[in-house]
Structure 1
Amino acid sequence: MKMATLLLIFTAVLTALIAGLFYAYSCSVVLGLGKLSDGEYLKAMQSINREILNPVFFISFMGTAVLLPVAAFVFRGQPAFIFLLLATLAYLIGVFGVTVAGNVPMNDILDKFDISGATTDAIQQMREGFEKRWNLLNNIRTVFSVISIALVVCACIWSKEI
């Protein structure tokens, strides 16, 4: 098996893992979290946001950001190139960019919020200022990550390597 083929397969797997993470979160986790009280919701989100910062997540999240453009470069001049280029743009703007510019700053603000020392009104205000916007940004990441994996699958189909 050629290195380019392995690169494309590994890129597809990482992209699929990230799309699956955001998809599962959008259609299950946020629904469950939405049923919690304000304090429980904020504590759960603080815990989730801390726990996701682990090597397995970083390998798939950052690996996808690196491997998509590398794969596009390797497949330049081939039919798969345009799909990989579009997948790269979708991922870097709609997933990576939204995460870094939107979700992470919100997570950082939430992480510094002292739930145990806050009033009921402050807890309610924090949730109101966080939940809808964070979920919207997560849905954007979900859509763009699914677009990215669909484009990578197209690249696999049209690749001369596979």
Structure 2
Amino acid sequence: MIDGPYFVLTVLGVLACGLTAGAFAAFSAFVMRGLAALPPAQGIAAMNSINVTAVGPAFMAVFLGATGLCAVLAVVTFVLWPEDGTVELLLGSALHLVGSFGVTVAANIPRNDALAEVDPQSAKGAAYWRTYVREWTAWNHVRGAASLAAAACFLLALT
């Protein structure tokens, strides 16, 4: 049975990954759809503004906090190798570290950077916006599913 500080870390992992999954789900469910419904120049401007705001303390504390917790949980699990929950803890950590953090760094951030460089008023900007919305949202689905699955794995490790 997981107990003591390890229990607290695991509960915090559930909460942090769950909050991260919720943020990603909101974007996939309605934010990106709302932005896509705007004229391209307005959608680009709004998304660029969101991308700047997203690196503020509120979201970054949750997202990077979840990432840090997952890294700590993976290391502690390898060191302690508990009788119960080992597979769930390692799987949950890997899901978030690769499927959420890794995808953010490898897929979403490069698209955000490219969006910041386009001229919103140009035909090229409008064409990129359509591609951006489709690709960014698909990768966001991956991030959301990975974060939710990580939270579920940590929850299973506690049972």
Q: Does 1:147 align with 2:149?
A: yes
Q: Does 1:70 align with 2:75?
A: no
Instruction: Show the counterpart of 1:113.
Output: 118
Change (3 A) 1:138 1:104: same
Q: Deviation per CA, 1:52-97, whole angstroms, max 9, x where unpaired?
A: 0111222211121121132233342231221010011111111111
Instruction: Give the secondary structure class of the aligned counterpart of 2:42.
Output: helix
Pick aligned residue for 2:51 from 41, 49, 52: 49
CA distance in 1, matches of 2:75, 2:43: 43
- For the aligned residue pairs, the C-alpha RMSD in angstroms reads 1.6
Aligned 8 A contact 1:90 1:148 in 2? yes
Normalised by the size of structure 2, how large is the TM-score?
0.88
Instruction: Give the secondary structure class of the aligned counterpart of 1:41.
Output: helix
Identity %: 31
Whichever residue aligns with residue 155 of structure 1, its letter is: A
Instruction: Show the counterpart of 2:137.
Output: 135
Instruction: Give the secondary structure class of the aligned counterpart of 2:14.
Output: helix
For structure 1, the 5+ residue unaligned runs are 158-162
Whichever residue aligns with residue 103 of structure 2, its letter is: V
CA distance in 2, matches of 1:142, 1:6: 23
Whichever residue aligns with residue 107 of structure 1, its letter is: N
For structure 2, the 5+ residue unaligned runs are none
Normalised by the size of structure 1, how large is the TM-score?
0.87
CA distance in 2, matches of 1:73, 1:125: 44
Aligned 8 A contact 2:14 2:150 in 1? no
How many aligned positions are there? 154
